[in-house]
Structure 1
Amino acid sequence: MRRRRLVQLAAATPFATPWGLLAPARAAATAGRVRPGDPDWPSDAQWQRLGERLGGDALVKVQSPFTPCLEAPAGPACTQFFNAVRNPYFLGDEIGLTQTLGWVGAWTSSPSVHAVAARSTADVAAAIDFAREHRLRLVVKGGGHSYQGTSSAPDSLLVWTRRMNQVLLHDDFVGKGCEGRAAPVRAVSVGAGAVWAHVYDAVTSRGGGYVQGGGCMTVGVAGLVQSGGFGSFSKAYGLASGSLLEAEVVTADGRVRIANACSEPELFWGLKGGGGGSLGVVTRLTLKVHALPESFGAVNLTIKASSAPAFRRLVGLIVDFYAAALHNPHWGEQIRLRPDNTLRVAMVFQGLSRAEAQAVWKPFLDAVDAAPEAFETEYSPLRIVSTSARDFWSPTLFKRMFGFISTDDRPGAPAGNVFWPGDQRQAGQVLHGYQSAWLPAALLQPERRSALCDALFAASRHWGVSLHVNKGLAGAPAEALAAARDTAMNPAVLDAFALAIGGADGPPAFPGVAGHEPDAALAQRQAAAIGGAFDELRRLVPQPGSYLSESNYFEPDWQRSFWGGNYPRLLAAKERYDPDGLFFVHHGVGSERWSADGFTRKA
C-alpha cells in the first residue's frame, strides 16, 4: 500500500516539487552516520572481528597517498608521485586515489579510513553488514572514474572491487529464472572491478565479438553500465545498460540478489542507468555480446577559419554535412568547436570500408578546399584510417609506432593495460568546470538548423563545445532504441542527436601541497566561460537533459536533468531496496534526503 501511494504521489507531482517530499524519511534513520572520534565509531576490537570475517588482507587501514607531498612538497617522493598519477592504471591500483583528483570548489579526493579490498561477493556483503550495523558512511569504488567524486569520501568505509575483475564468455546465456522465457544469447560476465580495456581484449581481440562499453578504456565496467553507459559506437549498439542481461548485487540488507528481467525486475531496471552507488553494490554483470563488424575506422581533421564570420560559415557546413551524411549508426565520437575559430573532427566509424568513409567525407572536404581564403585544413595522410575491428583495441605495432595507443609504463605491468593517448589528460586531472546538454534531433530539421548553428557559434565565443554524436541515440537502429527505452535513463537521450559537452581542467594538484595547489582563480574564470557557452545553448533548448556521469557538479535541477520522468520510479525503487539510505552519492537517487556530505539525515 505504501509503495502504491508513493507511485500515485509521484505521478501527480510536478517537477518543481522537491523530490524528497515524495517519500518521508524513516524515523529509524534520523540519527545519521558516525565519524572517527564519535562515541559510536567502531572499536578496534570490532574492526578486528570484521577483518577476521573477511580473512587474509581484505581489510585495509588506508593511508593518504598525499602524505609524502604534504610533508615534503619539493622532495623526490612527491615528484615521483605527481609523475605517477599521469598513469591511469597507477591511479586505479591505488586504494586511496581516484582517477580525477578533485573539482575546485566542489570536492577533493580523500581516502577512506578503512577499506574492504573485496575478492568475493561475500566480502562485499560483510562490508555492507558492518556499515549498516555501525551507521558508517559507505563508499564504493571500482574504476574510480567519477567526475562527481562519488567514489571518494573522508571518514568512510570503502568497498573496493578492483580485485573482482574476472571476465568469462558464454556461448548460450540465459538469465536466472528466465529459462524457457528467453532465448540463449552470446554474453560476457564481468566482475565489478574490471575495466573496459580488459573486457575488449577478451571479447573482441580474442573472442571475435563486440560488447557495448565505454570509449575510455580505463573506466570501470560496473560504474559505466549503472550510469547508462556510452561508447564510441553507441549510435549503432545503443547504451551499455541496454545490453545488460543480468546483475549480481548486494543490497542494503546484506542480501545477494540476482537481478534480471525475470528476477527482481524493478531493481534490474534501476541498475540500468539509475546511477551507481544508490541501490546496492553490483558485484557481477552479464552483458550481451553482439556480432563484430569487419572493420572500425577513424576520421581526424583540423580546420582553421580565417575569421569569426568564416567560422560561422564553417559551423553551418559541418552541421549541414552531419545532418545529410553522418546522422546514422555508422558514425560516432566528436565534432569540436573552439573559440579560436578552429573545427576539430575526431570521429569513428563502423560498418564502412576506408574507401567508403573517404567517399562520405569527399563533399565536405571539397567544399572546404574550394574556399582557401576562408579555411585552412591541416593535412595528414592518416586523417581517414581503418583497421580490423578485432584489432581496434589491441596494442599493435602500427598503433604504437604512430601514437594511436598507449600502454602502462610501470615495470611488469600486464600487456593488456592499454589506453587511448587522448584520455591520458584525464589521469589525475582537477576539474575547473563541466556542463553537458542533450540536443534534440529536431534541431537538424532545415527550418531549425540555422538557429542551431547560431547557438553553437555563440557558445563557441565563450568556450569550446564538443558535440558527442555517439551520446545521443537519434538515428540509432530500432533495436538499440527499444533497449534504451527500457532503462532508467532520461528519455531525452532517445531523441537527441548529440550530447554537447564543455569542460575545463587543470593538471594534477592537491590543496596544501606547495607548487601543486589547484588554481582557484583560473577555475572560476573557466567555469564562468563554460556557463556562458551553455547559456547560449539553453536559449535554444531551455530545459535540456544532462548525462549524469558527465555533468555539472552544481546542477540545480538534477533529478529532472538526469532522469526526467523516470525519477519517481527510481525513488520508489530506492525506498524498496534501501529504505534507510545506506547508499549515498552526490546527486544520486534519494540523496536530497541527506546533507551534502551524506552524514546527516534531513528532517
Structure 2
Amino acid sequence: MNRRAFLKAIGSAALLPILPRRLSASTNFRRRRPSDAAWPSEAAWKRLNDAVGGNLIPVKFPISEFKTDPAGAAAKDLWDNLTNPYYIRDQPGLTQTLGWVGAWATKPSVYAVAARNAHDIAEAVNFGRENNLRLVVKGGGHSYQGTSDAPDSLLIWTRHMNDIAMHTAFVPQGCEHTVQPQPAVTLGAGTIWIDAYEAVTTKGGRYVQGGGCTTVGVAGLIQSGGFGSFSKHYGTAAGSLLEAEVVTADGQIRVANACTNPDLFWALKGGGGGTYGVVSKLTLRTHDLPEYFGIVNFTVKAASDDAYRRLIREFVSFYHENLFNDHWGEQAHFKPDNSLDINMLSHGLDTERANKVWQPFLDWVAGSPHEYSTEARPSIVSLPAQGMWDLQSWKEHWPEFVFPNPNGNPLIGLLDRALSYLPWQPAFRRDKRPDAPPNDLWWVGDAGQVGWFIWGFESLWLPASMLENAGQERLADALFASSRYSGVELHFNKGLAGAPPDAVAAARDTATNPAVLTAFALAIVADAQGPAYPGIPGHEPSVAKGRKAAERVDRCMSQLRALVPNPGSYVSESNFFENGWQHSYWGSNYPRLAEIKRKYDPDGLFLVHNGVGSEQWSADGFTKL
C-alpha cells in the first residue's frame, strides 16, 4: 500500500466511531431468516400476536397440496379454484401471478399479520424493524413482478381492511382553509375495485377512477399510478388521491395530503407500492357519472400481409381522426395471424352516437370483401353507466353478454382476448363458491391473468407525435413488423394525450413518469402459461417455451422501441428485467423519489423488486450491498 492510500485508509477508520451507528454498520447488514439463531423466539411471536389482537397467523402454502396429496380433496379444491381470483385473494400464501420464468415463483411468508387497522400494521412494522425481518405487504396480490410475496418474511396482509365511507364534502386534514370541500370516498387498504365501484357507482351514482380489472387492490393501484378503462377522461387513479393514512418505517401512523407531509403524499401517488410505508386507507375524489358507458367489440381479418399493412395504416389514421379523445379507452390488438381485434370502451356516448363514430371505418372494411372479413357482426352498444359493474343491470340491458346464447350467435364478450375461440362469450365470470356475494365478478378478458406464470412482458409509452401525418406511416409499419413476432396491444386509456386539461394537470402532480402526459397509448406485449407452478408434475411452466416466448416479446417490442428516443414503461405492467428501470418507470422524478425514500425509510425496511432504493439491496432483499 502506498503512503497516500495508507493515510486515506487510517483517516477513514478514525472517522468510524463518530459516524451514526446505522451508517457504519450498514455495509454488513443482513436480514434474519428462520434458520438464524437470532430469529425471534416463540415468546416474541406470542407478544406480537397479543399486540395485534390474535391476528398473527402462520402462513400455509396451498400449492404444497399438489405434492403431499395430489389426489386428495384439498388438491382438487385448489385446482378448481386456482383460476378464481377471489379464492386466491382469501389465501395469504398465494398470489394471483404465480411467477415469471427465470425470475421468481410465489413462496409464502412464515407469518402474516392479518391487519384490521393501522394499529395492527404499526405493531407489525415495529416488530419487523426491531428484529431485522424482511417485510412484505399484500392487498390484492396482483403484482406481476412478485412484489407482494417473499419467502422467510413477515407478511402484512390487508385483506380484511375493506371499509368504505362516502363523503359529500371532504376536506383533507390541515387543508381546512386552502381546499374546497368535494365529494370523495375513503377506502381501506384491502379493498378491491369491484367493491369500490359497487359502493361509489352502483349505489352512489358517482364514479371513482380505479382499475379496469375488478379484483386489483385499491392501495397497490394508487401507489403505482393506476389506470382504468376511463382514464382517458378522468386521468390516473393517483391523480384523484386526496389523502392517505400510512404507517412509516418508524412505526408512526401518519396522514399524508397536500398540506400534511406533502412530500410523502406525492411519492404515494405513483412512486411504487410497498416502498415508503404501509398504506392503511386512502381517500379519493369522486367524479360525475355520465349517462352511458359502452363497448365496441369486433375482429377484422386480412387476407394477405399487404392487406394487413393497409388495414393497420387505415386504423391508425382513423384513430387519430375519430377516437383520439376522452370518449374512448381500452384496446386494439395487432396479431400475427393478420387480424385486428378491437376491444374498446366508450364514455358518455349512447349506442347511436357510438355507431356513427365507427361507421366510416366499418364501411372501409366492407368496401374490400375479398381482402377483409369480420368474424361476426360488430358489437357497438351502450348501457346506463350506473350499471357498469352491476350484474342485474347487465342481465336487464345486455343479457346476451351475461349468459351463453342458446342459438350460438357469434357474440364476443367484453374485453375478451383470452378465450376468443369460442362462438360466444359472456362478459363476466363469477365466484361460484357457496357463500360468495353475487357481485363478486371479474371480466372474462382478465381471466387469463389468474394463476398465470409469465414468460415475457414489456410495455412502452407511445408519444402522440407518432399520430401526426409524418409519423403515422412509421407507426403503422412498426406495428406490422411487431406483429410478425407476437401480438401487440395498444391500451389507449393508459396514455393521457387527448385527455381533458384537468386530468392531465392532476397526473402531472404525481410521481408517475411524465412520459404518460404526452403518450396516446401504452403498448403491451406479453406471453404466459397458466395455471402453472414449478415442481408440480403435469403443471410445470415450460422453461424452454418461456425463453423462446420472452425472445419473441423482446423482438416484437424492439420494433416500436426504435421509434421512441427516451422509452418509458408503466411500473405495474413491465419487464421484470427492465433495463434502466429508474428512468423507465419514473423518468425525471426518480431523484426526488429517492430523497423521499431516504427521509421516511433511511434503513430500507420496505423493499420491492425494482422499487425506489432497491438498487442498494440484494435481489432477495436480505442483504445490504
For normalisation by structure 2, the TM-score amounts to 0.91
The one of 315, 323, 326 aligned to 1:326: 323
Q: Is the 8 A contact 1:102 1:109 kept in 2?
A: yes
Matched-pair contact (CA < 8 Å) for 2:329–2:345: yes
Contact preservation (8 Å) 1:73, 1:515 = no
The answer as to whether partners of 1:192 and 1:220 remain within 8 angstroms in 2 is yes
2:116 is matched with: 119
Q: 1:260-271 residue pairs with structure 2 within 5 A?
A: 260-271=257-268
Deviation at 1:401, TM superposition (A): 2.4
Q: Distance in 1 between matches of 2:526 and 2:607?
A: 25
Instruction: Tell me the CA shift for residue 373 of structure 1.
Output: 1.1
Question: Which of 488, 500, 503 is 2:523 aligned to?
Answer: 500
* 1:600 maps to 2:623: yes
Aligned partner letter, 1:270: A
Q: Does the alignment pair 1:245 with 2:242?
A: yes
Aligned to 2:498: 475
Question: Which of 432, 445, 453 matches 1:409?
Answer: 432
State the partner residue of 1:529.
552
2:387 to 391, 394, 405: 391
2:387 aligned partner, one-letter code: D
In structure 2, which of residues 177, 185, 189 is the aligned counterpart of residue 188 of structure 1? 185
1:536 CA displacement: 0.8
Pick aligned residue for 1:352 from 325, 349, 354: 349
Partner in structure 2 of residue 340 of structure 1: 337
Residue 513 of structure 1 and its aligned partner are, at CA, apart by 1.1
What corresponds to 1:5 in structure 2? none
State the SS of the aligned residue for 1:348. strand
Contact 1:302 1:343 in 2 (8 A): yes
Q: 1:580 and 1:461 mapped to 2: Cα distance?
A: 47
1:40 CA displacement = 1.4
8 Å Cα contact 2:526-2:553 kept in structure 1: yes
What secondary structure, in the 3-state scheme, does the structure 1 residue paired with 2:526 have? strand
Per the TM alignment, residue 220 of structure 1 is displaced from its structure 2 partner at its CA by 0.2
- Match of 1:401, as an amino acid? F
Residue of 283, 289, 292 corresponding to 1:295: 292
Deviations 1:66-95 (Å, cap 9, x if unpaired)? Answer: 121122335443233122111010000111
**2:168 pairs with 1:171:** yes
- Once the two structures are overlaid, the 10-residue window that deviates more, 431-440 or 416-425, is 416-425
Number of the residue aligned with 2:415: none
Aligned to 2:373: 376
Is the 1:73–1:514 contact (alpha carbons within 8 Å) kept by the matching residues of 2? no
1:73–1:513 CA contact under 8 A, matched in 2: no
2:44 to 43, 46, 61: 46
Q: Please give the per-residue CA displacement for 1:211-236, whole angstroms capped at 9, x wherever unaligned.
A: 00000000000000000000000000
- 1:28 deviation in Å? 4.1
The question of whether the paired residues in 1 share the 8 Å contact of 2:350 and 2:383 is answered with: no
1 or 2 for the larger relative contact order (CA 8 Å, sep ≥6)?
1
In the TM superposition, 1:568-579 aligns within 5 A as: 568-579=591-602
Instruction: Say yes or no: does 1:548 pair with 2:571.
Output: yes
Question: Structure 2: any 5+ residue segments left out of the alignment?
Answer: 1-21, 405-425
Classify the secondary structure of the residue corresponding to 1:385. strand
- Cα 1:74–1:433 change in 2 (3 A) is farther
User: Aligned-pair distance for 1:205?
Assistant: 0.2
> Whose radius of gyration is greater, 1 or 2?
2
Does structure 2 conserve the Cα–Cα contact (< 8 Å) formed by 1:54 and 1:123? Answer: yes
Secondary structure, counterpart of 1:318 in structure 2:
helix
SS at match of 1:365: helix
Q: Is contact 2:128–2:135 with CA below 8 Å preserved after alignment?
A: yes
Aligned residues: 577
Q: Which of 119, 129, 139 in structure 2 is aligned with 1:132?
A: 129
Deviation (angstroms), 1:405: 2.0
Deviations 1:301-332 (A, max 9, x none): 10100011111111001100000000000000
Give 1:415 deviation, angstroms. Answer: 2.1
The aligned counterpart of 1:448 is 471
Q: Secondary structure at the match of 2:583?
A: helix
- Which amino acid letter does the alignment assign opposite residue 220 of structure 1? G
Secondary structure of the 1:510 match is coil
Residue type matched to 1:563 in 2?
W
Provide the rounded CA distance (Å) in 2 between the counterparts of 1:43 and 1:108: 28
**3-state SS of the aligned residue for 1:521?**
helix
1:48, CA displacement in angstroms? 0.7
Work out the CA distance in 2 between the residues paired with 1:535 and 1:542.
12
1:543, 1:531 → 2: CA distance?
Answer: 17
1:212 paired with 2:212, answer no
- Is the 2:128–2:134 Cα contact (8 Å) retained in structure 1? yes
Which runs of structure 1 show a deviation greater than 6 angstroms over 4 or more consecutive aligned residues?
Answer: none
Q: Does 1:308 align with 2:305?
A: yes
Corresponding residue number in structure 1 for 2:419: none
**Aligned position for 1:13:** none
Q: CA deviation at 1:539?
A: 1.4
How far apart are the structure 2 equivalents of 1:340 and 1:280? 46
Q: For structure 1, which runs of at least 5 residues remain unmatched after alignment?
A: 1-24
RMSD over equivalenced CA pairs, Å: 1.2
3-state SS of 2:180 partner: coil
Contact 1:26–1:579 under 8 Å retained in 2: no
**Which one-letter code corresponds to 1:433 in the other structure?**
G
Instruction: Provide the rounded CA distance (Å) in 1 between the counterparts of 2:43 and 2:74.
Output: 34
1:9 matched to which residue of 2? Answer: none
**Given that residues 28 and 580 in structure 1 are in contact (C-alpha distance below 8 angstroms), is that contact kept between their aligned partners in structure 2?**
no
Query: Matches of 1:556 and 1:496 in 2, distance apart?
Result: 20
Letter in 2 for 1:283: S
Corresponding residue of 2:587? 564
Matched, 1:487 2:503: no
**% identical aligned pairs:** 56
Give the SS at the match of 1:26: helix
Cα distance in 2, alignment partners of residues 316 and 579 from structure 1: 51
Give the aligned residue type for 1:49.
R
> Which string of whole-angstrom CA distances, capped at 9 and with x for unpartnered residues, describes residues 440-471 of structure 1?
00000001111111111100101100000000
2:349–2:382 CA contact under 8 A, matched in 1 = no
> Tell me, what secondary structure is at the counterpart of 1:574?
helix
Give the secondary structure class of the aligned counterpart of 1:186.
strand
Q: In structure 2, what residue type is equivalent to 1:288?
A: R
